Amino acid sequence: MKIYSVNDPEFKPYGKVLEGYDTAELLTAMERIELPESGTAYRPGIESLEACAIFDELRERAYGGMPVQLGMCWGRNTKLNCLEYHRDSEVNIGWKDFILLLAKQDEIVDGVLDTAKVKAFRVPKGVVLEVYATTLHFAPCHTCPNCGFRVAVVLPQGTNTDKPAIEPKNEEDRWLWARNKWLLAHPESKQAKNGAHIGLRGENIDIAAEL
């Protein structure tokens, strides 16, 4: 699988690099959080990260003053497994280089996305990356198995917390997996086994051989 850079023109439909942010303090705070022994971990908001000066700046500039949360996804991963989207852009900042597996929301046909549509993009350490609301994404992939990944995740406040108690009235309602999180799962994923909408067809992409 070809791995593009977020600086390549191929990335333009999926998001953009945000300029003018100092990420040094945040990267140091992220490094203090221990990696899990295996797999990945995620927390929507982490106090030590939200104490960094960049948190207020991202809220006021990147989100125009809207309430946001600054959490992190971290661990080791090379597989696709699922794709998700939100109603708002997500901002990511990596402690080291990492890779995102991405597709477009408008590529979903009858509730299913063909994984052949997925593209891989390498994100350099410390870059502030906006991932558009229309971009399907999920857990980052590491570029170094020994190092793993630590990726800061900025989203509107409350995203990825408890799912609202709704009675589905349309197809998309059935994809809602958490607050402001619609999920398409690959049949091989643990999310599918736990009842998530099976919305990915094709190979469960694994980029281990490309690293």
User: What string of pLDDT tens digits covers the 211 residues of the chain?
Assistant: 999 999 999 999 999 999 999 999 999 999 999 999 889 999 999 999 999 999 999 999 999 999 999 999 999 999 999 999 999 999 999 999 999 999 999 999 999 999 999 999 999 999 999 999 999 999 999 999 899 999 999 999 999 999 999 999 999 999 999 999 999 999 999 999 999 999 999 999 999 999 8
How high is the pLDDT of residue 197?
98
* Dihedral sign (CA 151, 157, 161, 167): negative
Cα–Cα separations (whole angstroms), residue 80 to 7, 55, 152, 201: 22, 29, 19, 12
Task: Note the helical H segments in the chain.
Answer: 24-31, 47-50, 53-57, 190-193
> Which among 149, 83, 143, 85 has a CA at the least distance from the CA of 119?
83
How high is the pLDDT of residue 178?
98
> Which among 55, 37, 54 has a CA at the least distance from the CA of 45?
55
How high is the pLDDT of residue 29?
98
Q: Reduced to 3 states, what is the DSSP secondary structure of residue 105?
A: helix
Show the domains of the chain with their CATH numbers: 3-210 (2.60.120.10)
How high is the pLDDT of residue 55?
98
How high is the pLDDT of residue 83?
98
Task: Please give the structure tokens belonging to residue 156.
Answer: 């509107």
